[in-house]
Structure 1
Amino acid sequence: MTLRARINLIIASLMLVVVGTLTVVDLLGTRNAVREEISASHRIATQLVREVLEHYGQGNAGQLVQFLTRVGRVRSNDMTLYAADGQVLYRSPPSAYKQGRDAPGWYARLVIPDLQPVELPVFGGSLVIRSNASRAVLDGWDDMKAQMLGTLVLLLAVNLLVFAIVGRCLQPLSDVRAVLDRMGQGDYAVRLPRLPGAEAQSMGEAVNRLGAAIETNRAASLQAAQAEARLAAERGFVQELQSRIEAERRDLAASLHDEMGQSVTAVRTLAHTLVQRCGAAPGGDPAARRAGELLLRTTDGLYDAMHALIPRLRPPALDALGLSAAVADLVQGLRIQHPGIAFELNLPDAPDLALPEPLQIGAYRIVQEALTNVLRHAQATRVQVGLVRREHALHLQVDDDGVGMARPEPVAGRYGLYGMVERAQALGGALRLGRSRLGGLAVRARLPVDGWVMPTPVPPLA
């Protein structure tokens, strides 16, 4: 049921209550009026008959009948004359007023007074006087019908007027509803015009603000979804790029070891042979010997540099033994190269068990870059490296006691930090920087392990 119909129903109900109250009041008034009229008429008629009987007391019943016939009907009273044997000698004629009509029985029972008939002895018989309020009751009924009909017509007219006024007053609500329906169908650009009335205007402004907010939020959500899609595509691109870079590094390391390594070994062998022959032959050429020794030292340096470069391109331990062994080998090499720094390695279990290759490579590169940053910038004397698998994720940590960072976050010019963050995100994980318990910088990374096919980002580290 609409609000308009409810308001009209309430008003109509209130008016019906008023009409019902007025009807009850009218009914009670009619009852009192009829009672007063009938009672007075009954008393007068009875007193009149008594006086007449005293006047005709020496006469006979025939004279009394002639008198009553001349008098006719006394208002609101029926008189019946009975002989001594019970024969009816006279009965009042019926009323000619509104003849043939009577009020409904239920109405008559409500308003007719309960008056006892009066019986007067006369000439051996009796004269019975009974009150008859049917005409007075019929008058009351006719008056009440006319009043009720007029009231109902007035009620109908007022209700129609109220219906029209309420409809006009509630028209702004219909406009608001229509706009909300259109918003529900996705048309968030629709707006309400200025509505009449302070309350309706406030409601219209609220609906317009709601539509503007929804439209703004929808646009922001769409932009966020597009940005998320672009970010996912970029992360996929970064993952693919890193995979190709690792593949190129692996191929390059293999080429250096297999092809260039053999060539350097051959040159080194020739240089060594040249030195031996120039030194063993009598009167050997000293210049040739010095050239051979220089070539031998150069090839030795080239050989050492090549073998130092190969692990950086692709750690052999990573392919042969896995992530834990590769990290341990990396830390051990740094201990040898930097004896003034205490490296502590924490590997409580075998976190690289059944890890996918891209995840192992990514984790190794993050640890490698973090240690490189420590050696370049931290001025640290103590470094802790941790690698543990828990809660369906691989957790990496690198702490140092160096100078730290004023703001532990990636900054312009520090591409290594950006690279670590991008690598972790490309693997579906997260990386954060913070203050280390040793006093320097703390690097924390969390990489998801379970269901690793094309990983989705995990929540940032707490």
Structure 2
Amino acid sequence: MNTALASPPVDTAPLPLELPRLVMVRALMVAPLAMLLALVLGFLRSGEDIRIETEGALELATTMMRIGEVAKLDDAEARRALHLLHIDGRLRHVNMTLTDAQGKSLLATLPQSPVPAPLAWMVSLHRHWQRDDTPLELHHTLARPNGQDWQLSLQTMSDTERLDGMRYLLEEMLADSMSLGVMLLVMSFSVRGVFKPMRSLLGAIGRIQRNEPRAAETLPIMAVGELREVVTALRQLHDARQVEEERRRVLSHQVQNLQEDERQRLARELHDEFGQRLTALRVDAAWLQQHLAGQAELQRVADGMAVQCARLHQDIRNTLARLQPLGPAHSNAPLGASHLAESLKSLVAGWDDAPGLGVHVKLQLQQVGEGGQVWPWPGAADDLPMPRELLLTLYRMSQEALTNVARHAQAQNAEVGLVLRRDGDRAQVDWSVCDDGVGLAKLELAQQRGNGLAGLKERAWSQGGDLQGHPARPGKPRPGLKLEARFHWTVSAVQGAGTMDEHEDETK
């Protein structure tokens, strides 16, 4: 029987979306404005249409009244009156023709009004689409005194009606476009207002991706529910990432401390065990040198033993210096920056003296004061205290970087540089190693190949720094490589740790 407690059901119901509702509410606020604008434009256009149609109806009634008066005039006067009426009183959508009893036209055909260019293609398209537009006709007989009655005909003109229809359609399209444009413009401002916080949100996401300190604190306050959920999730992810990175940093510290402890153990064994035996061997060699005087052949052997013992003793000292660059680690008490400078000088001197490397190494040390003044380091009046772990990290990074230069860079020159800065209680050191070798195409790929850069990055990261690499001489056939990292610490915290360690030592 399974007695495991069942986990409570997780509510998977989707959250109500607030953003679409907010956008739609603003759209509904804009829609009445667009409709009001369309209504105003429609009223203005309707008033103009009513005026034109009223004038057309009045013109038609006036024309018919004048035609009725023509019957009282003789032929010449009647023809002149109808001609003037035909020219001056052109009817809307109606064409007037007049023929005598023999069918001869008594009125000249008036020219068609030109169609505006914007409407020409619309009129032509409509005419092609609706071909069945046979004009309607109305005939009226004008009695003449001589008995030769005239025939008055009125024909509908579909082209003028079509032109007016296309003009109305174009005006309506323009009005609708204006209404739509205004609505889209207002909607654009509305949507921009809704999504305006997204810009600051994207900026905060970029800072989180770059792992900048306190990046989550820059996340903006959102007024929309969905964006608030996004900000909350980002804060939780950032906090979880910080916790995980802190765990990794602690683990990295532990691994490096284990490595240093192993180096300390080896140093103690070299000093206590092998060192004592070597000292005894040197004493024996000295005794032989003294008691074999006068025996040239044995004297040479004894002298050679003494020389080899001295060389071996020096090699052990050098090995102890590499294993314990800061001296025996009895406590975590801070050391001055000058101690690091001396250790790096010894490291660089050892590289220059090493045979067969072919790489000239130099050391560049500077210290920048609070007022911006620069002086060589060491040499400052105030020996800035630094955490012992940071000092050891800077030394090991310099050591490993120079090893990479010798193994992979094919360089002739290399430089180790440190710039120390202090601003009140805050201090920082800029570490760099550059060479004139073949360089690297991509630092990330080189780290994956396991050529020592991954270890450098891990050491820098364990002390809160970030290892960066770029060509030392861009554009050159041999661009070289420059590695950089920056570290910060609080001076008062380091001094406080040193005071506590001194008190513990006195207590012991």
Please give the range of the TM-score, normalised by the shorter of the 2 chains: 0.3 to 0.5
Using structure 2 for the length normalisation, give the TM-score: 0.41
Q: TM-score, with normalisation over the residues of structure 1?
A: 0.44
